[in-house]
Chains A and B, each alone.
Chain A
Amino acid sequence: MGLGLVRAREDLMQAIPSEERAAHEELQPIHHEPKSFFFKYLWSLDHKMIGRQFLWAGLGFLLVGGLLAMMIRWQWAFPGKPVPVLGSIFLRSQGGAIGPATYMTIFTMHGLIMIFFAITPVLIGAFGNFLLPLQIGARDMAFPWLNALSFWTFALSLVFVILSLFGELGAAGAGWTTYPPLSTNVGTPGSGQTWMVAAVFVTGVSTIMGGINYVTTVIRHRAPGMTWMRLPLATWGLWLTAILNVLFVPVLGSAALLLLLDRLFGTQFFIAGATASVSGGGDPILFQHLFWIFGHPEVYILILPAWGIVSDLLSFFSRKPANWYRGTVYAMIAVCVLSAMVYGHHMFLTGFTPLLGQSFMLLTLIISVPAELLFLNWLRTVWQGSIRLTTPMLFSLGMLFVFGMGGLTGLYLGATATDIYLHDTMFVVGHFHLTMAAASFVASLAAIYFWFPKMFGRRMNETLGKVHFWITLVCLVTVFSGQLLAGYSGQSRRLYDPYQYTFLKHLLGVNRVASYAAFLLLFAQFIFIYNFIRSLIAGEKAESNPWQVSTLEWFTASPPPYHNYDRIPTVLRGPHEFADPEVRRRLGRDFIGQAEELPEAMPPAVASAG
């Protein structure tokens, strides 16, 4: 009997040459965990600790960005009225009310903080760091030192953000898109704008360092047997995001640097018209090209990790293999390839030639095909499954709902004719919030609920999680549907007081409903914060694989040891092996781990000997 098992094991060894296994162990030797506070918590080289650093920083700034959003919603519901609580703390000099100058800094800081300092660190910084090495069976990132440097560079950019908030003449106010000439000294002369452009530049440096690290790690440190087509889809999403970051954040960096030169040294790269001291020098539209060559891929940078995570979770909690795994991978790759070729739809009304507009329209509409394939795969994954509506599953299905709304509303904005009317309206705001805000936020929450046991060794409360889910989903949909409807009715974005216009006066009602939903949304997050902190301290202890799923990280301790794996695993199969009748017969359960050996039920060697 023992002989049969040994023989089966030998077959596996043959598939993975022993030199390769030895090389992996040699490449990633086990280091001892540092004991001093400084090297354990601050300058940690451990990807799991760096992931947690990004998580705390990101969640903190998510709250800041969220409070700024509440102030915007208050202004649209009760224009010019003193803001309760926040007003008496931050706007004392203005009697608690938001003025037009404060308003423009609020929506600018809300956008920049949410994109660069909340969603990016949570989805990419925290989960990218935590998951990538674990899911590919590595002991750490390829460049642990660069990883730590990436976080502390990010921390430096956070200092710049805080300096901007206290800048003379207020924080940055030119909108998150920072279009010149408004974002030059012509429009926003205060130091707050300068600090914020610098913050975006510095956080870009951090992102590029992180991106290089992620790309290299997945290429070089995959465990033996972890072929490309066996990677969990979360890893695929995070890896493709890292590639987009490495390719396109430098473009943003160049735009930010030129803008800083304009602001600090009067170079006039982006200034034209009467405010330029030289004629024919600068070009404001050049900035828009640079910004959106980065900015449109950025949408996918924020959503690809979400797509990957949700693709995995839908399979895990349907207890069924992900439908057409390769199709999902190819679709995500296609989106990445197209991502920088569609950016022109942000600029349909800048006056570029119709040929350019129409080309960008065609490419934009084409990118909907891979998106449709992703959706079809998700829908066909849950069909004929054995669905367990756990909190992470609810949030994953919630992501389908909000991303579905966001994706479909994008069609109107990708076509040049319908965009004439809808461009720069709240319809755009509703659309991109549903895709890059709601969808990535909901997916981040799915990820937090799902990987919490692995990160902290304890489980979160499911009941509180479900209550949190339902309030969050209903509120998100109400808030952003409200924006879509207001925009469809003609409300422009970024208006301090939309009701100045006769044709918008009647929209106060719909805006108020959306604002009430937003306030409730904020309160629902306190349920999450309570659940998170309580579970951290007193949650039920988690075993190594509480969700009964198949990817590598669930086959090491919760939380994993400093070096992740005592022995680097040998991967035998893909990440979604559920409901295999053979596995059920031999193991008595509906799943098998990626590196788990399937025992022989009736070893043939023994049978023939007998």
Chain B
Amino acid sequence: MTLLLAPLPEKGIGLPHDASLHGWRIDALINETSVYVGLLFVIMVAWVVLACLRHGPRHEARFDHGTSTRSIAVGLCIAGAIFFVVDGPLFVNSLILARDVFGNFAKVEADPKSVRIEITAHQWAWVARYAGPDGKFNTPDDIVTFNDVVVPEGTPILFQLVSTDVIHSFNIPNMRAKIDAVPGMVNRVWFEAKETGEFDIACAQHCGLNHYKMKATLTVLPRPDWEKWAAEASANSARDYDPDDREAHWGWDWSEHARI
């Protein structure tokens, strides 16, 4: 097995390192918006400063209610232009990304390589369950890990998650993935890691006293290493399976929620 590194610290102010295949799409949209927003803000401030400098107490105010048709039309056109130039791309790109990438579960479900993981969140830990070789959840060969999610590189990873107590939010900043874990419902999220390493999993939703410590590790291994890890872990679980430990027998039928 490869020697693992602890999560790497980040440097400076900026988006954290993007280790996912599709994260750049979100980053690009954020940065593009920042250009427009920055420009609008600079124009606004410059306008006010210039007005204060040029149209101070010695300047005679113009008697103008700004109600001429031309004046109103100019205002409406500027507002409309800003809407189409700044808000437009945000809207259209969000729709496209939801359809093709972040919300395109059908494509990922259909991919035979995809790895499926069920997560149960509770105060204050993340418990992960893999189906094992039989492909069925809640069977003796399932791999169950505690605050430790191990996934292969270059493979779509699909999560279904629930919470047993309060609302949590499953957050992997380096993978640009986030979704709430809500008691009473099953939520989904997916990403694909483009590089190996260790990354932090955090809880993004205030969930009580130790919310700040509800932390897990995401380990991304090369696919062959992960296969080896999974086989070993599954064999260990099957050997240690205790039919009387009913608390440990959670998990749900994946396909029930696949078509949501």
Q: Chain A residues in contact with chain B, CB under 8 A? A: 100-101, 104, 173-175, 179-182, 186-188, 271-276, 280, 282-285, 318-327, 349-351, 354, 357-358, 361-362, 365-366, 368-369, 372-373, 375-377, 379-389, 397, 400-401, 404-405, 408-409, 411-412, 414-418, 420-425, 485, 488-490, 492-498, 500-507, 510, 576, 578-581, 590
Q: Which residues of B contact A400 (CB under 8 A)?
A: 44, 48
A388 touches B57 (CB 8 A): yes
Interface: B171 (CB within 8 A): yes
Interface: B21 (CB within 8 A): no
In this complex, what residue of B is CB-closest to A416? B94
Task: Using known A-B contacts A320-B61, A420-B26, A503-B16, determine if residue A179 contacts B75 with beta carbons closer than 8 Å.
Answer: no
Q: Distance (Å) between the CB of A179 and the closest chain B CB?
A: 6
B30 touches A418 (CB 8 A): yes
Looking at chain B's contact residues, is the secondary structure mostly helix, strand, loop, or mixed? mixed
Q: Which residues of A contact B183 (CB under 8 A)?
A: 181, 271-276, 284
Q: Which residues of B contact A578 (CB under 8 A)?
A: 61, 63
Q: Which of B63, B103, B213 has the most CB of A within 10 A?
A: B63
Q: Which residues of B contact A497 (CB under 8 A)?
A: 212
CB-CB nearest 7 A-B residue pairs: A273-B183, A272-B184, A323-B66, A351-B187, A274-B164, A579-B61, A424-B204
Please report the C-alpha to C-alpha distance between residue A338 and residue B86 in the assembled complex, in whole angstroms. Answer: 20
Q: Distance (Å) between the CB of A4 and the closest chain B CB?
A: 25
Please report the C-alpha to C-alpha distance between residue A381 and residue B38 in the assembled complex, in whole angstroms. Answer: 23
**29 interchain pairs (CB within 8 A)?**
A100-B209, A181-B183, A188-B208, A273-B162, A273-B164, A273-B183, A280-B184, A282-B184, A285-B185, A319-B61, A321-B64, A321-B65, A323-B64, A349-B180, A366-B83, A379-B47, A385-B62, A386-B55, A386-B56, A387-B55, A400-B48, A420-B176, A423-B204, A424-B178, A495-B211, A503-B16, A503-B17, A506-B12, A510-B13
Q: Which of A181, A273, A404, A510 has the most CB of B within 10 A?
A: A273
Query: In chain B, residues 187-239, which have Cβ atoms closer than 8 Å to a Cβ of chain A?
Result: 187-188, 199-200, 202-213, 215
Task: Using known A-B contacts A181-B166, A404-B44, A424-B169, determine if residue A384 contacts B66 with beta carbons closer than 8 Å.
Answer: no
Q: Which residues of B contact A173 (CB under 8 A)?
A: 208
Q: Which residues of B contact A366 (CB under 8 A)?
A: 83
A496 touches B212 (CB 8 A): yes
Q: Which residues of A contact B213 (CB under 8 A)?
A: 500
In this complex, what residue of A is CB-closest to B91? A365
Q: Distance (Å) between the CB of B190 and the closest chain A CB?
A: 12
Q: Which residues of A contact B215 (CB under 8 A)?
A: 500-501
Q: Which of B80, B98, B123 has the most CB of A within 10 A?
A: B98
B72 touches A327 (CB 8 A): yes
Q: Which residues of A contact B62 (CB under 8 A)?
A: 320, 384-385, 579
Q: Which residues of B contact A318 (CB under 8 A)?
A: 55, 61
Q: Distance (Å) between the CB of A594 and the closest chain B CB?
A: 15
Interface: B134 (CB within 8 A): no
Please report the C-alpha to C-alpha distance between residue A187 and residue B183 in the assembled complex, in whole angstroms. Answer: 13
A175 touches B206 (CB 8 A): yes
Q: Distance (Å) between the CB of B43 and the closest chain A CB?
A: 9
8 Å CB contact of A174 from B57, B75, B206: B206
In this complex, what residue of A is CB-closest to B204? A424
A379 touches B44 (CB 8 A): yes
Q: Which residues of B contact A397 (CB under 8 A)?
A: 48, 52
Interface: B150 (CB within 8 A): no
Q: Which residues of B contact A358 (CB under 8 A)?
A: 94-95, 98
8 Å CB contact of A418 from B26, B60, B80: B26
B51 touches A382 (CB 8 A): yes
Please report the C-alpha to C-alpha distance between residue A419 and residue B67 in the assembled complex, in whole angstroms. Answer: 38
A501 touches B200 (CB 8 A): yes
Task: Using known A-B contacts A323-B65, A324-B66, A590-B61, determine if residue A349 contacts B90 with beta carbons closer than 8 Å.
Answer: no
In this complex, what residue of B is CB-closest to A380? B66
Please report the C-alpha to C-alpha distance between residue A365 and residue B95 in the assembled complex, in whole angstroms. Answer: 13
B63 touches A179 (CB 8 A): no
Q: Distance (Å) between the CB of B59 and the closest chain A CB?
A: 5
8 Å CB contact of B78 from A104, A372, A485: A372
Q: Which residues of A contact B63 (CB under 8 A)?
A: 320-321, 578-581
A408 touches B162 (CB 8 A): no
Q: Distance (Å) between the CB of B10 and the closest chain A CB?
A: 5
B174 touches A351 (CB 8 A): no
Q: Which residues of A contact B106 (CB under 8 A)?
A: none
8 Å CB contact of A324 from B27, B67, B204, B206: B67
A361 touches B211 (CB 8 A): no
B165-187: CB near A (< 8 Å → 1, else 0) gives 11101010110111110111101
B185 touches A387 (CB 8 A): no
Please report the C-alpha to C-alpha distance between residue A271 and residue B157 in the assembled complex, in whole angstroms. Answer: 30
In this complex, what residue of A is CB-closest to B81? A372
B30 touches A489 (CB 8 A): no
B13 touches A409 (CB 8 A): no
Given A385-B59, A502-B7: 7 more A-B contacts, CB < 8 Å: A383-B47, A384-B55, A384-B61, A387-B52, A423-B169, A489-B16, A590-B61
Please report the C-alpha to C-alpha distance between residue A417 and residue B102 in the assembled complex, in whole angstroms. Answer: 8
Q: Distance (Å) between the CB of A146 and the closest chain B CB?
A: 37
Interface: B155 (CB within 8 A): no
A503 touches B7 (CB 8 A): yes
Q: Which residues of A contact B174 (CB under 8 A)?
A: 503
Q: Which residues of B contact A368 (CB under 8 A)?
A: 82-83, 87
A104 touches B208 (CB 8 A): yes
Q: Which residues of A contact B123 (CB under 8 A)?
A: 187
Interface: B71 (CB within 8 A): yes
8 Å CB contact of B75 from A181, A327, A590: A327
Q: Distance (Å) between the CB of B131 and the closest chain A CB?
A: 22
Interface: B33 (CB within 8 A): yes
Task: Using known A-B contacts A489-B14, A497-B212, determine if residue A424 contacts B171 with beta carbons closer than 8 Å.
Answer: yes
Please report the C-alpha to C-alpha distance between residue A126 and residue B198 in the assembled complex, in whole angstroms. Answer: 54
8 Å CB contact of B10 from A104, A324, A506, A580: A506
Q: Which residues of B contact A383 (CB under 8 A)?
A: 47, 51, 55
8 Å CB contact of A101 from B14, B56, B59, B209: B209
Q: Which residues of B contact A379 (CB under 8 A)?
A: 44, 47-48, 51
8 Å CB contact of B55 from A385, A411, A420: A385
